[in-house]
Amino acid sequence: MSQRTSRISGFHKLSRDERLAAIQAVAGVDDATLEVLKASSALPFELLDRLVENAIGGFTVPVGVATNMIVDGRDLLIPMATEESSVIAAISNTARQCRDTGGFFTSISGTEMIAQIQLVKLSDPWAGRAKVLEKKAEIAQICDGCDPLLVKLGGGFRDLEVRIIDGRFGPMVVVHIIIDTKDAMGANSVNTMAETLAPSLAAWTGGRHHLRILSNLADRRLARARAVWRKEAIGGAEVVEGIVLAADFADHDPYRAATHNKGIMNGVSALTLASGNDTRAIEAGAHAFAARSGRYSSLSRFEITAEGDVAGSIELPMALGIVGGATKVHPTAQACLKILGVTNAAELSRIAAAVGLAQNFGALKALATVGIQQGHMTLHAQNVAITAGAVGDEIAELARRLAEGRAVRQDVAEAILAEIRAKK
């Protein structure tokens, strides 16, 4: 009997086969499971091993392309990496329905990131704050000195904010350095700056520096998008009313707002992942921004225009990059960025906002009319059919019968599959 301990010394130094053998010894998985892991990625193992520690395989998420999007006058194909069926179909549909009004129009507030340095144990925090603000020029120099390439590309230090926060252990001084990271998401750059700067801040204020890290509430990188859906394109005045009523629910109730915003992130995160960006950073920023008033609310707005159509708009933090991190080293991310045809991070961020709005509109329209299950279930039925063991032509037939019967469940699928096979 193998002993089930997760304490495996030097695991990271092992080859892939050795790692798999060690996993087999501890977890007791069979050879077939190891074979699945070995065949799990089209990417070379050396690349996977460089991307994360202790790599054993890859996890393939489907990449699809949403069609019909027009963003700021450009026709775009949107690469999306998502395991959720119906996301790509929904966005393609929604984008088609606003082509006659010009599609999506976008803007962005900038490409600045905030890094925070926490100073604690100051006897005179207000004086400390004043001292830090006096040093703005020196702080700019220290920050820019950390990343001369960024400065050469037109980015670098932009501004300084110093806040005093009353914590449980007394007041702390929190310094924000504001850095234009241009085409990079910028985490590495601003974190290095924060760590380099912190000892000087501590010396100037007489405090002790503690955390030094970027903030994911990237509210100096706000991407916005808007679009109009004509009532004739979406099923008439009743649908228009249904959509604004649904949006009103999200504006006023955090339980609904969480789900409403999740729908937005179905689109945003799929593009974020496809472009090799950090989905968690984008999610964290979006939800923190949604709660900025103190009450969690919707990231989008839907109104009825003077003509009786639906005007949708959205604004959310969008710290996306096209250089650095996985965006450059992951070949699929590179391919996706090429399909999208973006030349800078601001453009990618603006498109992501449009994708979020499109996705959101699609969900609200479905919810306000036929309900979400109709579209969802047709696609979900295919997954259930495969899980039930259907192969080849059986998948489509079983999926169709499951969706028609509206009981898209594993047990029902198995019974119908047995029927299909008995008739063969």
Among 16, 131, 210, 262, which residue interacts with ligand MEV (rule: CB under 6 A)?
A: 262
The distance of closest approach from Cβ of residue 359 to ligand MEV in the complex, given in angstroms and rounded to an integer, is 8
156 three-state secondary structure: strand
Give me the catalytic one of 38, 49, 72, 84.
Answer: 84
Distance in Å, CB of 61 to ligand MEV, minimum = 15
- Report whether 361 contacts 69 (CB < 8 A): no
Near ligand MEV in 79-98, by CB under 6 A: 84
Is the CB of 141 or the CB of 373 nearer to ligand MEV?
373
Q: With beta carbons less than 8 A apart as the criterion, state whether 43 and 59 touch.
A: no
- Report, in Å, the least distance between residue 101 CB and ligand MEV: 22
Give which of 32, 81, 38, 74 is closest to 58, Cα–Cα: 38
CA distances in angstroms from 209 to 119, 169, 189, 194, 375, listed in the order given: 4, 15, 19, 10, 53
**188, 192, 196, 259: which one binds ligand MEV (CB under 6 A):** 259
Q: How many CB atoms lie within 10 A of CB 36?
A: 11
Phi, then psi, of 301 in degrees rounded to 5: -130, 140
Alpha-carbon span 360 to 312, nearest angstrom: 9
Between 162 and 264, CB nearer to ligand MEV: 264
Lookup: tokens for 68:
């019909």
The CB-of-358 to ligand MEV minimum distance in angstroms stands at 13
266 binds ligand MEV (CB under 6 A): yes
* Residue with smaller CB distance to ligand MEV, 108 or 250: 250
**Across-strand partners of 227?**
312
Nearer to ligand MEV, 135 or 262 (CB): 262
| Residues 45-84 close enough to bind ligand MEV by CB under 6 A | 84
Long-range contacts of 129-133 (CB under 8 A, 24+ apart): 129/162, 129/163, 129/164, 129/173, 131/204, 131/205, 132/160, 132/162, 132/173, 132/175, 132/201, 132/204, 132/205, 133/160, 133/162
The C-alpha angle 223, 75, 99, rounded to 5 degrees, equals 85
372 is a site residue for ligand MEV (CB under 6 A): yes
Contact pick of 263, 267, 285, 325 for ligand MEV (by CB under 6 A): 263
Catalytic site residue from 278, 309, 347, 394: 278
Q: Quick check: is 347 catalytic?
A: no
As given in the structure block, the two tokens for residue 254 are 């955090």
**Residues from 349 through 368 that contact ligand MEV (CB under 6 A):** 363-364, 367
Residue placing its CB nearer to ligand MEV in the complex, 326 or 379: 379
Catalytic-role residue among 38, 135, 176, 262: 262
Mark whether 376 is an active-site residue. Answer: yes
The count of chain residues that interact with ligand MEV, using the rule CB under 6 A, is 10
End-to-end alpha carbon distance in the chain = 45
Residue with tokens 């916005």: 224
278 as an active site residue: the answer is: yes
Residue closer to ligand MEV (CB basis): 332 or 360? 360
Among 260, 287, 365, 380, binds ligand MEV (CB under 6 A): 260
Which residues is 310 bridged to in the sheet? Answer: 229, 304
Residue nearest to ligand MEV (CB): 263
CB of 364 to ligand MEV, least distance (A): 6
| Pairing relationship of beta strands 170-180 and 310-317 according to DSSP bridges | unpaired
Smallest gap from Cβ 226 to ligand MEV, in A, equals: 18
Q: Phi-psi bin for 203: left (phi > 0), alpha (psi -120 to 50), beta?
A: alpha
Nearer Cβ to ligand MEV (72/283):
283
> Does 369 help bind ligand MEV (rule: CB under 6 A)?
no
E strand or H helix at 178: strand 170-180
Q: How far is the CB of 384 from ligand MEV (least distance, A)?
A: 17
Interacting residue ranges for ligand MEV, rule: CB under 6 A = 84, 259-260, 262-263, 266, 363-364, 367, 372
Q: Please list the active-site residues.
A: 84, 262, 278, 376
